Structure formats: C-alpha cells, structure tokens
Amino acid sequence: MKDSVFKVLTNKKIAKNTYEMTLRGDVSDISAPGQFVNVKLDGFYLRRPISVCNVEGDVLTLIYKAVGRGTELMAEMTGGEELLTLTGLGNGYDTKKSGDKPLLVGGGAGVPPMYLLCRELVKEGKHPTVILGFGSSDEVFYEDEFKALGAEVIVTTVDGSYGIKGFVTDAFSGLSPTYFYTCGPEPMLKAVYDKSECSGSFSFEERMGCGFGACMGCSCKTKYGNKRICRDGPVLEKEEIIW
C-alpha cells in the first residue's frame, strides 16, 4: 500500500454517466488485477474506492460511474488535477486459477477490473471469454477494447437494445469455462453463482471507511470466518461465500 499523488492526464465520458480517467503516478504497489485505489477528493472526508481498470507504465486507468457527489466532482475534472491516492488495496484476482478457457463476467461498474484481468490472462497465453452486461445500449463501453486484447466478447443489455437481451447469465449457454471471474452488482454475482458450474472468483462492493482493513466498516461473513471486503477481499472464492 502506498499513498501518493497522481496527476490527472485525461478524463472523458465513454458511456452514460461513465467516465474513463487516466492518471500518472507511482503504480508500483498495484500487484494484481481486481485491486482498487482509494482517491481523496477535496471537500470529502472519506476517500472514494475505485477499481483498477488498467496500468501501463506509470499510467493508471480508472473507469467510474458518476453516481454521487464525489464521483460527480471527479467527472468535472479536465486534466492537471492532483489526487492523493492510496494504491495497492485489496487482494485482487489470481490468474493462476484460470485454466485455459476462463470466463470473465462484468456488469456495469464491474466491467473495468475485468480489463486488466483479461490483459493479464491473454499475456499468460490463456483464452478468455468476456461477458459484459449493461442496462441499455447507451451504457455499453469497452467492447472494442476487450476485443483488441484478443478475447471473445459477448455483450448483454437488460432492455435488449444492444447485444443479447437479458442478464449476463442469459449468455452462459454453450460456454464451458475452466474457471470464471466476476464483478458487478450483488444480484448479478448471486445469479452468476447460481448458474455457474465451475469454480470462480467474485469481487464484492461495500461502503468502506478506510479501504485498508483498519475500521471494520466493510466486514462480511464467509465460510472461512469474518472477512474485510477491502483487505481480505474484494475478491472472494466461490467456495467461501455465504449469501
């Protein structure tokens, strides 16, 4: 874990309420896909936890939804802003578990961490399939970026305005993955849990205080005891989850 200043390079809207921000800074403590950073914003006491979408050189990419006052403030940034950021938070995904044909399932704000994960899996010579789930066509992002990594990409929208109509699990038929990785809203995680036949990793979201395991604000019960989403997670294994 490191606390350092990142400088905003670019910040652009890529879908409805969805922004892609690139920042330059010390990324040396980011050690796995699925980790998150905790960003300090002027005028707010607690930091904003945002999952890591990509790291290239010393450039960090974050994709976030402007859903509250904090993220709305981020959406207004134009570049040059300096943000105090804690990096290297959370356990992240373990790519060693993937097998040859992992399935990556991201829903909405759960899509971004799938990107770095997909990149790493491809780099390791694996053949990931990615399901990206959104509400509607205007919310869709990163389909081409995932394709450019060499992954098989399936998009679903709840209203059917783009890709397969329905939820991410409606795209499961015919797929026989060796392992799966997922991130998204909890009802989606539960649906993936119920429909999936192989083992997998689930990334959870919770309101956090500190983001590094001190405050016990984001605790959950697992079959292996109480865990802190921020420190022992956000990624939990299928076998340990209690719904």
Partner 1 sequence: MVNTKVTLCGVEIDNPIIPASGTFGFGYEFAELYDINVLGSLSFKGTTLEPRFGNPTPRIAECPEGMLNAVGLQNPGVDKVKECELPKLREVFHKPVMANVSGFSEYEYVTTVEKLDSEPDIAWFEVNISCPNVHGGGMSFGTSCQSAEAITRAVRRVTKKPLIIKLSPNVTDIVSIAKACEAGGADGISLINTLLGMRIDLKKRRPILANTTGGYSGPAVLPVAVRMVYQVYDAVKIPLVGMGGVSRAEDVIEFMLAGATAVEVGAANLVDPFASKKIIDELPLVMEKYGIKNLSEIIGGAH
Q: Which residues bind partner 1 (CB under 8 A)?
A: 1, 3, 40, 44-47, 70, 86, 206-210, 212-221, 226, 231
b/e sequence 24-57, b meaning 16+ C-beta within 10 Å: ebbbeebebbbbbbbbebeeeebbbbbbbbbbee
Q: Among residues 164, 176, 23, which one has the least CA distance to residue 85?
A: 23
Least gap, CB of 217 to partner 1 (angstroms): 4
| Three-class SS of 125-187 | CCCCEEEEEECCHHHCCCHHHHHHCCCEEEEEECCCCCCEECCHHHHCCCCCCCEEEEECCHH
Least gap, CB of 71 to partner 1 (angstroms): 12
Of 2 and 195, which has the nearer Cβ to partner 1? 2
In this structure, are residues 72 and 66 in contact, taking their beta carbons and an 8 Å threshold? Answer: yes
Distance CA 161, CA 72 (A): 26
Of 64 and 180, which has the nearer Cβ to partner 1? 64
Distance CA 90, CA 70 (A): 21
Of 193 and 212, which has the nearer Cβ to partner 1? 212
Least gap, CB of 65 to partner 1 (angstroms): 13
Of 6 and 181, which has the nearer Cβ to partner 1? 6
Of 42 and 144, which has the nearer Cβ to partner 1? 42
Least gap, CB of 229 to partner 1 (angstroms): 8
Residue located via tokens 């081409």: 144
Distance CA 183, CA 118 (A): 13
Least gap, CB of 30 to partner 1 (angstroms): 16
Of 71 and 201, which has the nearer Cβ to partner 1? 71
Least gap, CB of 208 to partner 1 (angstroms): 6
